[in-house]
Chains A and B, each alone.
Chain A
Amino acid sequence: MNEATPDADATDRMLLQRMSAGDRVALATLYHGYHGRLCRFLSRLTRRTDVIEEVVNDCFWIVWQKAGEFRGDSRVSTWIMGIAYRCGLKTLRLHGDEPVEDDAIPEDRIPSTDPDEDRLLRDWLAKGLDRLSADQRVVVELVYGVGHSLDDVATMMQCPVGTVKARLFHARVKLRNVLPSLAGESPVMKESVS
């Protein structure tokens, strides 16, 4: 499930190299390769599609300009997701936004072809994530959704690994106690965080 395998990273590095020479085909390839996961990642910060679109393009604007400066200290995906995260926070600050709730999305904009099972799963997840802070949602998405390590996430969020670990722990504790009931089950265990 990890979307940043060594092979993928080698391809991304090659694309970055071509982009540093002004290759727009490489930019388009990288853009399409990351668009889906960036949109999903940013949707954990905000539900506003206009803001997500803006942040994705701000991110790739920076990637295009800095492609030649990528030092290779981390995987390309870590670098790009980190840029997207910071662009996302900056844009939300400019918009004066807290993450927007689900009901801000017009019902008719959700594809009707969505299978019922997926719809149920998404609803279940959305209600669970609602209980988390924005930082906790981001960590959960990066670890479970994208498949990054704690070290990668710490690099992206520019904070100590211990902080990421604590965010993940608290997020899991909260989810553990709300997700079963959201799915119509009783919680497996009581939370005992003091």
Chain B
Amino acid sequence: MSYPLDTGQDCLRAWEAMPWVLQESATQEQREWLDRHLVHCGSCRAEWEQQQRLRLALSLPTELPIDAHAGLKRLMERIDAPEREQAPRRLRSGGWLTRGLVAAVLVQAIAIGALGLKFRTAGQAPAYQTLSQASAPVAPGSIRVVPDARMSLTDWNALLHTLRLQVVGGPNDVGAYTLAPASPAVTTQQALQQLRAARGIRLAEPVAGTP
């Protein structure tokens, strides 16, 4: 891009200085330099005259008939009734956005309602149990046992047979079984002692003793 003046650096400098000299924001030195340049440069003089005319034209008041008093009155009314005035303005300016947000909220509300209805109709028991809730009924004298993972099924069965115990529950998530005496002659205390002494049993505790 080149400058519109092809008569040298002085004309370029004059071109750049003109708006600010017109504005009276140029330095005294710039003004004096421009005056001197214009004396002997016809093309810059013509440009300067046009710039002055441009400034004059731009400083004319607008010919558009706009009543300041009426405008101020409307502004005051708007200030006096900000809510009434601003609400529709905001809706107008954000029409699509507002409608989109409203639609999204409606869809969410419907989805939440449907989800609630599903849970209500399913009647499922919660997947958790609180400490205050009663446990599932367990036979009296039951023992909770955790066998070693390496214990074979044969050894496990043999142990149960020897101690005259039977599995009444489990294994649960941690691999614990609930055992109960298979014969009334077996006491819990005795079975516990034997289980704790047996190889391959990692834990044996009476269910009733659970806090």
Which residues of A pack against B, CB within 8 Å? 1-2, 24, 27-28, 31-32, 35-36, 39-40, 43, 47, 49, 52-53, 56-57, 60-61, 64, 90, 94, 105, 109-111, 114, 118, 121-122, 124-125, 128, 140-141, 143-145, 147, 149, 168, 172-173, 175-177, 179-180, 183, 188-189, 191-194
Q: Which residue of A lies closest to B4 (CB)?
A: A173
Cα A156 to Cα B142 in complex, Å, equals 84
Cα A147 to Cα B22 in complex, Å, equals 9
Residues of B53-79 whose CB lies within 8 A of A? 53-66, 68, 71-72, 74-76, 78-79
Assess the B2–A194 pair: CB atoms within 8 A: yes
Assess the A35–B68 pair: CB atoms within 8 A: yes
Shortest CB distance B51–A (Å): 8
Assess the A105–B4 pair: CB atoms within 8 A: no
Contacts of B46 in A (CB 8 A): 180, 188
Cα A90 to Cα B2 in complex, Å, equals 35
Assess the A125–B57 pair: CB atoms within 8 A: yes
Contacts of B4 in A (CB 8 A): 172-173, 176-177, 189, 191-193
* 8 residue pairs A–B, Cβ–Cβ below 8 Å: A1-B24, A31-B75, A40-B62, A52-B66, A125-B57, A147-B23, A147-B25, A193-B1
Which residues of B pack against A, CB within 8 Å? 1-6, 15, 19, 22-25, 43, 46-47, 50-51, 53-66, 68, 71-72, 74-76, 78-79, 92-93
Q: Which residue of A lies closest to B3 (CB)?
A: A192
Cα A121 to Cα B57 in complex, Å, equals 6
Shortest CB distance B197–A (Å): 82
Assess the B54–A144 pair: CB atoms within 8 A: yes
A interface SS class:
helix
Assess the B65–A111 pair: CB atoms within 8 A: yes
Q: Which residue of B lies closest to A64 (CB)?
A: B79
13 more contacts with CB within 8 A, not counting A94-B93, A175-B50, are A32-B72, A36-B61, A49-B65, A64-B75, A124-B53, A128-B54, A141-B58, A144-B19, A176-B4, A176-B47, A188-B50, A193-B1, A193-B4
Cα A31 to Cα B92 in complex, Å, equals 25
Cα A192 to Cα B15 in complex, Å, equals 14
Assess the A111–B22 pair: CB atoms within 8 A: no
Shortest CB distance A65–B (Å): 9
Contacts of A188 in B (CB 8 A): 43, 46-47, 50
Shortest CB distance A154–B (Å): 15
Cα A187 to Cα B68 in complex, Å, equals 40
Contacts of B19 in A (CB 8 A): 143-144, 168
Assess the A2–B68 pair: CB atoms within 8 A: no
Of the candidates A40, A43, A121, A172, which one forms a contact with B53 in the assembled complex, judged by CB atoms under 8 Å apart?
Answer: A121
Of the candidates A24, A144, A193, which one forms a contact with B2 in the assembled complex, judged by CB atoms under 8 Å apart?
Answer: A193
Cα A136 to Cα B24 in complex, Å, equals 22
Shortest CB distance A96–B (Å): 13
Contacts of A60 in B (CB 8 A): 75
Contacts of A193 in B (CB 8 A): 1-2, 4
Cα A194 to Cα B68 in complex, Å, equals 45
Contacts of A31 in B (CB 8 A): 68, 71-72, 75
Kindly name the residue among A24, A43, A176 whose own CB sees the greatest number of chain B CB atoms within 10 A.
A176
Assess the A61–B54 pair: CB atoms within 8 A: no
Of the candidates B6, B53, B65, B79, which one forms a contact with A192 in the assembled complex, judged by CB atoms under 8 Å apart?
Answer: B6
Given A43-B64, A52-B66, A188-B43, A1-B79 contact (CB < 8 Å): no
Cα A118 to Cα B24 in complex, Å, equals 23
Of the candidates B22, B57, B74, which one forms a contact with A57 in the assembled complex, judged by CB atoms under 8 Å apart?
Answer: B74
